[in-house]
Structure 1
Amino acid sequence: MRWLAISVAIVAVLSSSVSAQPRGELHLFVPCGMIVPFQRLKTEFERQTGIKLRITYDNGVMLVRRIREKGERPDILVAPGELEIQQLLRDGFIDPKSVVTFGTFKLILVVPARNRAGIQSLNDLLKPSVRRIVIADPKLNSVGYYAQQALMNLGLWEKLKGKIVTHWHAQEAVNYVCMGRVDAGIYYATCPFDSAPEKVMSPNYKIVAEFPEGSYPPVKVQAGMLKTSKNKAAAQRFLKFLVEPKTQKLLAELGIPNFKAKAGSIRTNLKGK
């Protein structure tokens, strides 16, 4: 009887341990420029934890709007920079204690393959032959915000703002260059060129310059849990998974370099939607 009682106790402990593990399904909102790495992360996370991931891919601005204006409630929002996360933190949608920084990007200058304006450097943007430079709308997109900050810090913004055109959809801003509709564009180095190449309308582009380190705030690729998450334990487990060494190595291989803490971040009083 004594051995039977011990066996029952062991089974009870093991059962409670198993039941304590996060289970069920998580719904993620992920920018469409990160399809390749997150499809791999989905496979790895599900294999390791048994938790199912349902991922909605869309433009970052649209993901924010779907939460703010359409009432959609994923468990986690992934963002290509701080701007989108800060908008939802300010509006009270995201738990501030949950936010993790799991990657970064560098800014690059891209031109159409033909490069009729003859751009070879950042200073070449000042040439009269350069008429249109596209960036994502800096009020709505992290990549556009960082682009504007870089130009301002390099003393180029005031000189170039008459040439700047913006688009609310970051991916469309990329396609403006690929289609030759502008002379140059400013984007992230690997997103979407490496992390979602199928989203790039044409391979007809060239990278001609990288913005110097320190000319813009460190880009923080982030994720945060919504306060309304129906599976908080699983959401916290996924956020922890994002910064684990094996995941970080995989992300770096798939176009989202690891973030190294540096001074500086977005400090903004965002207004409006």
Structure 2
Amino acid sequence: MERKRIFNSIVAAAVALTLLISWNLFPSVSPTTAQQRTSLTVSAAISLSQALGEIKTVYQSSNPNITITYNFGASGALKQQIQQGAPVDVFLSAATQQMNELQQSNLLINDTRRNLLTNRLVLITPKNGVALSDFKQLTDVRIKKIAIGEPKSVPVGQYAQEMLTKLGLWQQLQPKLVLGNNVRQVLTFVESGNVDAGIVYATDAKASDKVTVLLTAAENLHSPIVYPLAVIRNSRNPGAAKAFVDFLAGDRAKIVFQKYGFGIVR
């Protein structure tokens, strides 16, 4: 009799537990929900896309609860998105101008801003294109179209305009210029043979086997090519964003950036 009473009690307890679970009255915790997941949106100059893609894999392998989403584009366009309230946690620009404007608008967490990388400006042509030994030869009749970034919103175009102006070529070359929305579009124009030459970053040229690098611009012909980064003031996850910025400035990320041809700010 005693055994039967114990058995009935166990059955009753099991039924009650089943009902609690089915009615969602019994809290359940799984290993995947026990640890809080965090998402970061990183807006970055498109010239960084390959390097940051590899860095994302490295970072998330040791930080599995951090999900990183990249938004690549021209630095000027990305800056405008942030000014208009886009939900961005971290911004990496290909020039200081865009970062300065965000800082002046109090849109950055100031102590997170730092200069991260450098780059060089190069003249490229399609494979087996016209051979040039001087930027002034861009005026040659054989060169009918030259691709550069839109100077007002694309930093590589700004640097190209500065260089061509210092060389006294800007006005003369106006009829030949084809403007790209970002540096990768400029590269594509050259790769496809739709233009005879283009001015891009050395890192973008390095990533393509369809172009030839003819010349590297002297650094005194344009503003220093510097990539600053910072956490955006309206970041939804400022702590995680700061940690990611610190990682980007660390030794592991520097190895990746250098692999893709970027210089490191000392």
Tell me if structure 2 keeps the 8 A contact 1:112–1:177.
Answer: yes
Count of paired positions: 230
1:157 aligns with 2:170: yes
Residues 1:187 and 1:47: Cα distance change in structure 2 (over 3 Å): same
Of 248, 255, 259, 1:253 maps to: 259
Of 24, 38, 42, 1:24 maps to: 38
Residues 1:124 and 1:161: Cα distance change in structure 2 (over 3 Å): same
The CA distance in 2 between the partners of 1:183 and 1:40, in whole Å, is 32
* SS of corresponding position for 1:73: coil
The letter of the residue matching 2:218 is: P
Partner of 1:182: 195
Aligned-pair CA distance for 1:56: 2.1
The letter of the residue matching 1:112 is: P
1:134 aligns with 2:147: yes
Residues 1:90 and 1:170: Cα distance change in structure 2 (over 3 Å): farther
Please say which of residues 240-249 and 42-51 is displaced more in the overlay. 42-51
1:72 aligns with 2:78: no
TM-score normalised to the size of structure 2?
0.76
Residues 1:53 and 1:30: Cα distance change in structure 2 (over 3 Å): farther
The CA distance in 2 between the partners of 1:145 and 1:54, in whole Å, is 29
* SS of corresponding position for 2:156: helix
Of 38, 49, 65, 1:35 maps to: 49
Partner of 1:172: 185
Gaps of 5+ in 2: 1-35
Residues 1:80 and 1:176: Cα distance change in structure 2 (over 3 Å): same
The letter of the residue matching 2:254 is: Q
Partner of 2:159: 146
1:111 aligns with 2:125: yes
Q: Percent identity?
A: 22
Q: How does 1:200-215 map to 2 (within 5 A)?
A: 203-215=209-221
The letter of the residue matching 2:196 is: D
Which structure has the larger Rg over C-alpha atoms?
2
Tell me if structure 1 keeps the 8 A contact 2:151–2:161.
Answer: yes
Partner of 1:3: none
Residues 1:96 and 1:151: Cα distance change in structure 2 (over 3 Å): farther
The letter of the residue matching 1:130 is: I
Partner of 1:98: 112
Aligned-pair CA distance for 1:44: 3.0
Structure 1 vs Structure 2 CA RMSD: 2.5
* SS of corresponding position for 1:129: coil
* SS of corresponding position for 1:162: helix
Tell me if structure 2 keeps the 8 A contact 1:102–1:248.
Answer: no
Residues 1:246 and 1:104: Cα distance change in structure 2 (over 3 Å): same
Gaps of 5+ in 1: 1-21, 198-202, 261-273
